[in-house]
């Protein structure tokens, strides 16, 4: 059984970065919970443990001590960024990271950027820094910075469910690939991307899962001149043509 520790940054009295109507602590908790759900639902032999599953505050030392005590095989600390000019995605390892941490970072970063490809997200690269979560963890550890809350274009994307889904997919795929996890029988298997053309316009790729083609609702609607609204509370998408 592989143990994955997911650390949703900040929480409680520490909101993390905040701008454009967003708070970092809320976004990373959403990502953390869904990454856990999808990994345990779709893959064999994996247990996902969370630093926090609700809006609570934990010291950094509490987080790493719990992960080390649990004997986690890897740790992924999930954050959003701020103060980054043009925005984008980046990942971090410890400055003196092990080969295993470097490998985890490479796989995870690559898979996340692949999932974000349709959204023209800037790749800020794989970096190293003296960060507590990576330094004090006894297992391979990586910290991901999932777009910039205070960059208008990034913030607009973080408000879109399809971008949140892409971030989740990238993390899940990267973790599963690094650990060599096997898909459960009956779990959805994604084949090659499907080219989507609407009214003669090439839009971002769709996905083929178990013989069903899924296309991005927002991209299709916008190509047809319609607007898409999203109500996160009711999980309702609305399309208007005027």
DSSP letter string, the chain: -EEEEEEE--BTTB--SEETTEEHHHHHHHHHHHHHHHHHHHBSSEEEEES-SSS----HHHHHHHHHHHT-SEEEEEEEE-S-TT--EEEEEETT--HHHHHHHHHHHHHHHHHHGGGT--EEEEEEE--HHHHS-SS-EEEEEEEETTSHHHHHHHTSHHHHHHHHHHHHHHHHHHHTPPBPTTS--EEEEEEEEETTEEEEEEEEETTEEE--HHHHHHHTT-EEEEETTTTEEEEE--
Start and end residues for every CATH 3.40.630.40 domain found in the chain: 2-179
Regions of the chain where pLDDT drops below 70: 188-195, 197, 199-202, 204-205, 207-213, 232-233, 235, 242
* pLDDT tens-digit map of 78-111: 999 999 789 999 999 999 999 999 999 999 999 9
Report CA Rg, the chain: 18
Task: Identify the active-site residue in 24, 59, 145, 222.
Answer: 145
pLDDT of residue 153: 96
* pLDDT tens-digit map of 152-173: 999 999 999 999 999 999 999 9
pLDDT of residue 236: 82
Query: Which numeric CATH code is attached to 2-179?
Result: 3.40.630.40
Quickly count: other Cβ atoms within 10 Å of residue 44's Cβ.
13
- Which residues on neighbouring strands pair with residue 224, listed in sequence order? none
CA distance readout (Å), 5 to 46, 105, 142? 11, 15, 11
- 145 as an active site residue: the answer is yes
Query: Taking a C-beta distance cutoff of 8 angstroms, is the pair 50, 36 a contact?
Result: yes
User: Whole-model pTM?
Assistant: 0.81
pLDDT of residue 235: 66
């Amino acid at each position: 059984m592989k143990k994955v520790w997911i650390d949703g940054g900040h929480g409680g009295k520490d909101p993390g970065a905040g701008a454009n109507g967003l708070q970092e602590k809320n976004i990373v908790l959403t990502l953390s919970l869904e990454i856990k759900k999808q990994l345990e639902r779709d893959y064999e032999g994996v247990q996902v443990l969370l630093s926090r599953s609700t809006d609570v505050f934990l010291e950094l030392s509490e987080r790493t001590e719990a992960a080390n005590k649990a004997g986690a095989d890897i740790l992924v600390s999930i954050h959003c960024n701020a103060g980054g000019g043009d925005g984008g995605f980046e990942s971090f390892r410890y400055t003196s990271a092990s080969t295993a941490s470097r490998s985890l970072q490479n796989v995870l970063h690559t898979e996340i950027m692949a999932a974000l490809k349709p959204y023209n997200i800037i790749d800020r690269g794989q970096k190293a820094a003296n960060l507590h979560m990576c330094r004090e963890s006894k297992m391979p550890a990586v910290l991901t910075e999932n777009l910039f809350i205070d960059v208008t274009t990034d913030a607009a994307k973080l408000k879109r469910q399809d971008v949140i889904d892409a971030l989740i997919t990238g993390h899940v795929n990267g973790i599963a690939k690094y650990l060599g996890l096997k898909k459960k029988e009956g779990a959805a298997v994604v084949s090659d991307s499907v080219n989507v053309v609407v009214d003669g316009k090439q839009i971002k790729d769709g996905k083929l899962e178990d013989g069903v083609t899924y296309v991005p609702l927002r991209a299709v609607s916008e190509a047809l001149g319609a607007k898409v609204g999203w109500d996160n509370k009711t999980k309702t998408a609305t399309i208007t043509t005027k």
